[in-house]
Structure 1
Amino acid sequence: MTITIVAGARPNFVKIASIIEAIENKKAQGISINYRLVHTGQHYDKNLSGSFFQELNIPHPNVNLNVKSGSQAEQTAAIMIGFEKELQQNPCDLVMVVGDVTSTMACAIVAKKAHIKVAHVEAGIRSGDLTMPEEINRIVTDSLTDYFFTTSTYANANLKRLGVSESNIFYVGNVMIDTLLKHENQLKKPSLWNNLKLSEKNYLVMTLHRPNNVDEEQQLKQLITQMVSHSKGLPIIFPVHPRTQKLLHRLSLNFENLHVVAPLGYLEFNYLVKHALGVITDSGGITEETTVLNVPCITLRDTTERPETCDLGTNILVGNDIEKIKSAFKTLFAGTWKQGTVPKLWDGHTAERIVNHLTTIFK
């Protein structure tokens, strides 16, 4: 069996690391399974992609399509053109896509038109918010998928409602958590820790990248001002996504406790998350990591495709509601944040289950 694994953006690299390791372990046992790693180049900043290969021991990609930046349509088209040529030159039995980025959707479309089976890791998650590009990517990808690997019972239920046969749904857990648990003891203190004189549980981490939060100047300014005003002067570490950096240049923000820093590598960023008093984010993946690390998480969204992080974990949704934001910070500083639990099968063995299923399917 030959699998083409697609990765294009930062979250993808975290997810494929454990899958590749599980495949290598199967090969070492004499199982006939091979893979080819395709990097679409959707993220090309070193700290958004390149450093992850070294930190997470991911082999160098067999090919990089180098699509780089552009509009949604431009990126999708460039990925599809490049990936079509890749599959023509390097046929495979299965294309595996992960997550919900543009590369996920684009490569699933190309694979199906080439009559190649598609496996989707992290299938079935839904926010119900069609203003999110990722939600459209999820819907399109799952409409073409043959084998659905899911993270939660919520995802299973979503797929069943769509009429997906239970025989094609594989509830396996969360590959992002495989990677987190494997590397938790290797997380490393970033240089800014000493430079800013940080101490454990005495600072906040913030990430923002959703278009509805960062694409409009006044909205972004208001959000950041709200966070600072409720932070009680604690340092707020804000690794800035390239999308957000462009706007920040135009905003006259001057808050003593707001520290805007360059994107961090996986090990450094998660060190900050693990030791923070709390995390403020609009990222879905970070809400999963904070749930496992038992760190309070305030999510600046009205919906989530990962409801288990709210129902079971440490995450709460506040959107842009000033009263909800105020209440969340009050609970955080009172030390009365809810105690979360780790969802079922988020145990570090998800990739093993995925590869076991694939070797059975393609026996």
Structure 2
Amino acid sequence: MPRPGLPRGRASPVGRVALILALALTSILSVLSLFVGVGAVTPERLWAGGEERQALQILLVSRLPRTLALLLAGASLAVAGLLMQTLVRNRFVEPSTAGTTESASLGFLTATLLVPSWPVMAKMGIAALFAFAGTALFLRILRAVPLRDAMLVPLVGLMLGGVIGAVTTFLAYRFGLLPSLLAWTTGDFSGVLRGRYELLWLGLGAAILAMLLADRFTLAGMGRDVATSLGLSHESVLAMGLALVSTIAAVTLVSVGAIPFLGLVVPNVVSLLVGDNMRLTVPWVAVLGALFVLACDLLGRLLRYPYEIPVGTMVGVLGSALFLALILKGRDRHA
């Protein structure tokens, strides 16, 4: 029996089959990802000896870490989007539409300027703190501004992100770090190697914690009065959720760059298939997030082979189109 007050899942047999097929497709694409690239890596070369052992080295040093990074980043960012939508109670919010990603970029740039000798983990922590502050500011603005239309919420976030992004760009230009800023704001997995992606496991840990605390976040998303009446500290749970989202955004930014609209599209698609019960949807959001990023990366590698289109560009194009479709569908529903 689901707890009183929690939304029920409405998973249909067709939806369950579709999601199981998505899991199978993710496994297939993960294997395919190991053998797509400029360097020739085939099953035959992997078992060959002598100079052909180079294929095994490419697989272990580059292809396998890249595939793991794709799965980890896609799953964690999709869960972060679901968590933000639950807490804000708006289907059109995610880190790239709430100023979270831009705040993380500003934090990472600030750490690079002020403490360049610090390890990447410490800089990531500063980026997470900035992301937390930027997201909290976004929520504070939402409380102060009367919003009569749900579509205004992401617009407020996009405007806030634009202001923060402008400040970040100015600082990067002033100190000659525009190329570095471009690398941070464009999701690209071509440079992922063993030893340079492991921070993404922290994002997966945050996503798992979000799944374990899904009921608390769902209750907090129902509002302060409902959460308090059920004995839940609304502010504490909200702060915990923002901390998880900020950690995922910062880890992804530092490791592979920003990937826009992923956390917006995937949770909405899963909601149509399974329902609004966060505890039920988190695993499927993670699976579809990983599948979406993996498919976009493979498509980017094949469209202009042997050159690559960054996965951030592919996800941004497809995600923005789906974002507009969701907005238009929402307006038609309320018309």
TM-score range, shorter chain: under 0.3
Q: Report 1 or 2 for greater relative contact order, CA contacts < 8 Å, sequence distance ≥ 6.
A: 2
Normalised to the residue count of structure 2, the TM-score between the two structures is: 0.25
Normalised to the residue count of structure 1, the TM-score between the two structures is: 0.24
> Which of the two has greater strand per residue?
1
